[in-house]
Chains A and B, each alone.
Chain A
Amino acid sequence: MSDLPLTRAPAHLRQGSSIGQPVTRHDGPLKVTGAARYAADHHPAGMLHAALAVSSIARGRVSFLDLPAALAHPGVVAVMTPANRPALAEDPDAKTHPFMFRMDVLQNDRVRYANQPIAVVIAESLEAATEGAALLAPRYEAEAAQADLAAAEVFTPPAVGPGHPAAMAHGDTAAGLAAAARRISVTYETPAQYHNAMEPHAIVAAWDGDRLAIDTPTQGLAMLRGRLAGLFGLPAENIRIRSPFLGGGFGSKGLASGPLVLGILAARLVGRPVKLVLRREQMFGPVGHRAPTRQTLELGTDADGALTALRHHTLTATSAFDDFIEPASNASHALYASPAIATSHAAVRLDTGTPMFMRAPGEAPGSIALESAMDEMAEVCGMDPLEFRLKNYAETEPMSGKPFSSKALRECYAQGAARFGWAGRPRAPRQMRDAAGLLVGWGMGTAIFPALMFQGEARATIRRDGSGMVEIAASDMGQGAWTALAQIAADSLGLDPARLDFRSGSSDLPDGGIAGGSAHTATAGAAIHAAGAETIARLAALATADGRSPLYGAGNAGVIARDGRLFRRDDENRSESYADILARAGLAEIAGAGSGAMEPAAQAGYAMHAHGAVFAEVKVDPALGQIRATRLVGAFAAGRIINPRLVRSQYYGGMIWGVSFALHERAVLDKRSGRVINANLADYHVPVNADIPALEAMLVEEHDPHVNALGIKGVGEIAITGSAGAVANAVWHATGYRPRHFPITPDHLLGAPG
């Protein structure tokens, strides 16, 4: 019945009032009262605690562990090492698809990065396990570690990000640069960053024969279950993963990680449930990070400020044993019009954990470099930065030539600039001071993020009492996905949200796809939308074929679902409740399934991106160089907005990440040892509230008829892009110092005229 006309009717025909409402989070009361049970809050009977022992060298092998000392400590039950670790069905170093990464699960005594797990101590208490791990007092055969982006041997990777080409080009950039009236060539450096979700990676694992139950925060229930099924040689249905709440993920909880697998192995070893929670410092190694980059941009323009060429080259780092190449140069693919664009990547191998997807992978470091370079080019051209960007506005996607499915970037520029008060900004730097004598600068950046979709499934049910249930293994990372998806679900079944039972966060539900790539609402939402449509269509078929129904003979196209009833479209006086339809049919419930994925034809025909414009004000102490981002205004267009309150919150989070990127975040790697020496939240800075005194996110209207049935683009990552560059450009405007090393710190500004 999936071909019934109703399923192809415009989405609004089945929408009640839920989509578009600024509903507060369903999980909010649970979280503020502490009632929400995160993974590590579970304590099954007989549970033991596991603590990791991790390597303090970055390369070499473990030559000694004092097992007797650890085992003799009161409360210690077992120590898992390569010698006694239960077998896996699959080599953890195997790699059969781009979303599969090598992990360290005690397969041998090699050490390939600092903080790599080298043993697991399992004990009756966390304290005993922790002390047991300390008592192992490992010794090593250490080898010289390579930790310097500038010193390691450079290679050209076969692919970047999740399987994208390492180099792409259109037009002749050499000719474009040669013909340019003005040109710049500038290099920017960004540091390694770590996700640092508030909730550390955690797992509670319990075996029952060959069945495995785990509680762990994950951004991708089905993908994790599939990976674990492979590693443990189990049918996927033998594994049940619960992940109702995540205390942040940012990409580091997207894929199976070594510590998570070690928790399961530990439970196997001791035959009891085991809990393993990473310490903060242990998150700097085995669970991914954003790699450092050195990016060189070459831009040329004609005499009028139109780009003639844009080259973007990135040198970045991956680990010594696996490949994830931060696709930073690709930030230049879709934003500014240029007759010639060339992007390329090179990489070195460092003795670190493997870098990983981190919120706006590629886009975040790529954007700060591109937006800085655009600002530098505007300066060279003697143009206002916004005027320069409008001059190079892309009417079609520059690399592909495809039309945009929708693009309200002009409106973002206009609304953001008006709200911020951009007009009248002096073009030269160091022109503005506040009453206290602080330098004031204004900068801007353009935000862009692709509108992606993965594959997701959902099931929708209408019950005898007229209530609904929607089931999907979706992930709520704290951003409110459950709330937004429940809004879509309520509308998909024509029900008041209070009449809807929304079930999510468990792997035994239909696969909702991974919560990443800013694609979760679109993917899971499309699946829910389709499942609801299927269910309503089945219900409508029952009613319209039943001579006792007031809807008899209406034809499916003539029925609208709303408020728990089906109405004849041409005569709304004729309607019947869901409950009555099911009762007469003698059915306890009626269900339908649906899936969500990118439409290949739409993808082939259109370039799909969300856009935005971010305007930043910074104040800088002229002598001391202390910087504060005093005001940010972002205006974003991302298709249909399901829940403006949650979307605004996502934009705030992204903009704060942008401030963090520009001014705060940096993993400090000791190049001698390969160790991150600020692996704690006191020394690894992210902004505090006092760093973000004023923040505004504007939702710019945008209707996208192509991107998916609901017109949803993604909002989870876009606001980092644009924001980081806007802050950097504002620092230049305040001081005349052009930031090219991030984060910008007071010592950088010492050379600026005081």
Chain B
Amino acid sequence: MNRFEYVRPATIAEAVAAAGAPGAAYLGAGTNLVDLMKLGVLRPQRLVDVRRIAGLDRIEALADGGMRIGAAVRNADLAQDADFAGRFPAVAEALLAGASAQIRNAATVGGNLMQRTRCAYFHDLASACNKRAPGSGCAARGGETRQHAVLGWSAHCIATHPSDFCVPLAALDAVVEIAGSGGMREAPLAEFHCLPGDQPARESMLAPGELIVALRLPAAAAGFAAHARYLKLRERTSFAFAVVSAAAALRLADGRVTEARIALGGVAARPWRARAAEALLAGAAADDAAFRRAADAALTEARPSGDNAAKIELARRIVRRALLLAASGTPARRPALPASPFAAPEDGDAAHV
């Protein structure tokens, strides 16, 4: 690890000023950044620790029925916040499906949005990677691609965004509040992460020095609380990134879908909002046939980026299942294995894995 400067600003303005310098990086819990520094993948000259900034660790209920979550709120705290989990159960479920208890106890909301891809070639300094070293090429193409993108990828990059948390956030129209030297601005989470195109090094809408200060879930998102699920397919029961995942949220009336929200994880460089599938479901009967059509629609544009065609079919199946689970209702008690196909609601609510 190289020598670097460590600063701990007390205010957002100080933080933004400190991070304006070239080579600066914001530090949350460091559960991803520090790992990458140890590998030499990232070599920041200055770490700007934002965990002590007053107000960034608050979970606030807004007057309009939405909620605002400070960027330094820890994943575990947010998932266990009864008010939050009651209004946005799929988000809480996704939080608890990520990483391990130890990591969730440290990791922050803002850091989760900013976590880097798990692409092995990004992590490997000896491999070409247009994300890490623009213009060097993409070693993932033609390599080991079981986990790589099937949607939104380009010839320059086939990496995926690994977050679970962001998937229901994208589905529920979460908004990212961003501070910069010019003041505050907002961005929809579903568009916050960039698709690779020919500039895969640009991963988010943040300009250099900009800081995520909060996430906001709009009041409308709470309208799905009765029928909202996150489902994650993984190669071990816990502490594994998604092969594919899906968030599904429905508003139902008289057996019909009045509004649907669908997003997929593990398939693209951003949490993938499936608007065409949502449109297909609006007004449709809330039944398996409709969910199957929606799942097909969600993956219409998918194509393998390597030896990963199976992900497309798995993604289809997980969207359909997530919709079925959402239609059958958010469980009264959180499943013992959040987001797992093995989580029968009667298993209880010990989210210990």
A interface list, Cβ under 8 A from B: 56-57, 127, 130-131, 134, 435-436, 438, 619, 621, 623-626, 628, 663-664, 668, 670, 672-673, 675, 677-678, 682-683, 685, 687-691, 743, 745-747, 750, 754
In the bound assembly, the distance between CA atoms of A127 and B310 in angstroms comes to 43
Least Cβ–Cβ distance between B323 and chain A, in angstroms: 12
A434's nearest neighbour on chain B, judged by CB, is B344
In the bound assembly, the distance between CA atoms of A683 and B118 in angstroms comes to 9
- Which of chain A's residues have a CB closer than 8 A to the CB of B235? 663-664, 685, 743, 745-746
B341 touches A675 (CB 8 A): no
B342 touches A668 (CB 8 A): no
In the bound assembly, the distance between CA atoms of A663 and B234 in angstroms comes to 12
B236 touches A664 (CB 8 A): yes
Interface bits B215-243 vs A (CB < 8 Å: 1, else 0): 00000000000000000011111111101
B237 touches A628 (CB 8 A): yes
- 8 additional A-B pairs beyond A624-B318, A677-B120, beta carbons within 8 Å, are A127-B1, A130-B1, A621-B341, A624-B314, A625-B233, A688-B353, A747-B310, A750-B314
B317 in contact (CB, < 8 A):
yes
B321 in contact (CB, < 8 A):
yes
In the bound assembly, the distance between CA atoms of A486 and B336 in angstroms comes to 42
- Which of chain B's residues have a CB closer than 8 A to the CB of A688? 100, 236-239, 353
A137's nearest neighbour on chain B, judged by CB, is B125
In the bound assembly, the distance between CA atoms of A687 and B2 in angstroms comes to 34
B287 in contact (CB, < 8 A):
no
B124 touches A687 (CB 8 A): no
B interface list, Cβ under 8 A from A: 1-3, 40, 100, 118, 120-121, 124-127, 142-144, 146, 233-241, 243, 310-311, 313-314, 317-318, 320-321, 337, 340-342, 344, 353
Least Cβ–Cβ distance between B286 and chain A, in angstroms: 18
Least Cβ–Cβ distance between B95 and chain A, in angstroms: 16
In the bound assembly, the distance between CA atoms of A743 and B100 in angstroms comes to 22
**With A672-B142, A750-B314 in contact, is A624–B126 under 8 Å at CB?**
no
* Pairs A–B under 8 Å by Cβ, sample size 29: A56-B124, A56-B125, A127-B1, A130-B1, A134-B2, A436-B344, A619-B342, A621-B342, A623-B317, A623-B320, A625-B314, A626-B341, A628-B342, A663-B236, A668-B120, A668-B144, A670-B143, A672-B143, A673-B126, A685-B240, A688-B100, A688-B237, A688-B353, A689-B238, A690-B353, A745-B235, A747-B146, A747-B243, A750-B313
B314 touches A747 (CB 8 A): yes
B310 touches A624 (CB 8 A): no
A670 touches B144 (CB 8 A): yes
**With A127-B1, A688-B353 in contact, is A56–B126 under 8 Å at CB?**
yes
A689 touches B353 (CB 8 A): yes
- Which of chain B's residues have a CB closer than 8 A to the CB of A690? 236-238, 337, 353
B99's nearest neighbour on chain A, judged by CB, is A682
- Which of chain A's residues have a CB closer than 8 A to the CB of B313? 750
Per DSSP, chain A at the interface is loop
- Which of chain A's residues have a CB closer than 8 A to the CB of B340? 626
B121's nearest neighbour on chain A, judged by CB, is A677
In the bound assembly, the distance between CA atoms of A130 and B43 in angstroms comes to 13
Least Cβ–Cβ distance between A114 and chain B, in angstroms: 9
The 8 closest A-B pairs by CB, nearest first: A56-B126, A747-B310, A690-B237, A677-B120, A621-B341, A690-B353, A690-B238, A436-B344
A74's nearest neighbour on chain B, judged by CB, is B3
**With A628-B237, A690-B238, A690-B353 in contact, is A750–B310 under 8 Å at CB?**
yes
In the bound assembly, the distance between CA atoms of A364 and B19 in angstroms comes to 53
A747's nearest neighbour on chain B, judged by CB, is B310
In the bound assembly, the distance between CA atoms of A663 and B342 in angstroms comes to 16
A623 touches B240 (CB 8 A): no
In the bound assembly, the distance between CA atoms of A746 and B317 in angstroms comes to 12
- Which of chain B's residues have a CB closer than 8 A to the CB of A670? 143-144
B342 touches A438 (CB 8 A): yes
In the bound assembly, the distance between CA atoms of A745 and B311 in angstroms comes to 12
- Which of chain A's residues have a CB closer than 8 A to the CB of B100? 688
Least Cβ–Cβ distance between A496 and chain B, in angstroms: 41
- Which of chain A's residues have a CB closer than 8 A to the CB of B236? 663-664, 685, 687-688, 690-691
Least Cβ–Cβ distance between A55 and chain B, in angstroms: 9
A691 touches B1 (CB 8 A): no
- For A624, A625, A673, A678, the residue with the greatest tally of chain B CB atoms inside 10 Å of its CB is A624
A687's nearest neighbour on chain B, judged by CB, is B236
B233 touches A624 (CB 8 A): yes
In the bound assembly, the distance between CA atoms of A436 and B143 in angstroms comes to 38
Least Cβ–Cβ distance between A295 and chain B, in angstroms: 23
A677 touches B144 (CB 8 A): yes
B353 touches A624 (CB 8 A): no
Least Cβ–Cβ distance between A622 and chain B, in angstroms: 10
- For B310, B341, B344, the residue with the greatest tally of chain A CB atoms inside 10 Å of its CB is B341
Least Cβ–Cβ distance between A683 and chain B, in angstroms: 7
B341 touches A134 (CB 8 A): no
Give the contacting residue for B40; candidates A134, A743, A745; CB below 8 A: A134
In the bound assembly, the distance between CA atoms of A134 and B340 in angstroms comes to 40
- Which of chain B's residues have a CB closer than 8 A to the CB of A683? 118, 120
- Which of chain A's residues have a CB closer than 8 A to the CB of B143? 670, 672, 677
- Which of chain B's residues have a CB closer than 8 A to the CB of A689? 238, 353
In the bound assembly, the distance between CA atoms of A628 and B142 in angstroms comes to 31
Least Cβ–Cβ distance between B100 and chain A, in angstroms: 8
In the bound assembly, the distance between CA atoms of A201 and B174 in angstroms comes to 46
- Which of chain A's residues have a CB closer than 8 A to the CB of B118? 682-683
In the bound assembly, the distance between CA atoms of A745 and B243 in angstroms comes to 10
- Which of chain B's residues have a CB closer than 8 A to the CB of A685? 235-236, 240
Least Cβ–Cβ distance between A248 and chain B, in angstroms: 19
- Which of chain B's residues have a CB closer than 8 A to the CB of A682? 118, 239, 241
**With A626-B234, A750-B313 in contact, is A675–B124 under 8 Å at CB?**
yes
**With A672-B142, A677-B143, A688-B353 in contact, is A746–B233 under 8 Å at CB?**
yes
In the bound assembly, the distance between CA atoms of A625 and B1 in angstroms comes to 41
In the bound assembly, the distance between CA atoms of A675 and B127 in angstroms comes to 10
- Which of chain A's residues have a CB closer than 8 A to the CB of B342? 438, 619, 621, 626, 628
- For A130, A438, A670, A685, the residue with the greatest tally of chain B CB atoms inside 10 Å of its CB is A670
B124's nearest neighbour on chain A, judged by CB, is A677
Least Cβ–Cβ distance between A28 and chain B, in angstroms: 22
- Which of chain A's residues have a CB closer than 8 A to the CB of B40? 134
- Which of chain B's residues have a CB closer than 8 A to the CB of A664? 235-236
A664's nearest neighbour on chain B, judged by CB, is B236
In the bound assembly, the distance between CA atoms of A497 and B143 in angstroms comes to 58
B2's nearest neighbour on chain A, judged by CB, is A131
Least Cβ–Cβ distance between B277 and chain A, in angstroms: 17
Least Cβ–Cβ distance between B295 and chain A, in angstroms: 11
In the bound assembly, the distance between CA atoms of A142 and B144 in angstroms comes to 21
A626 touches B233 (CB 8 A): yes
- Which of chain A's residues have a CB closer than 8 A to the CB of B311? 747
B321 touches A624 (CB 8 A): yes
In the bound assembly, the distance between CA atoms of A685 and B234 in angstroms comes to 11
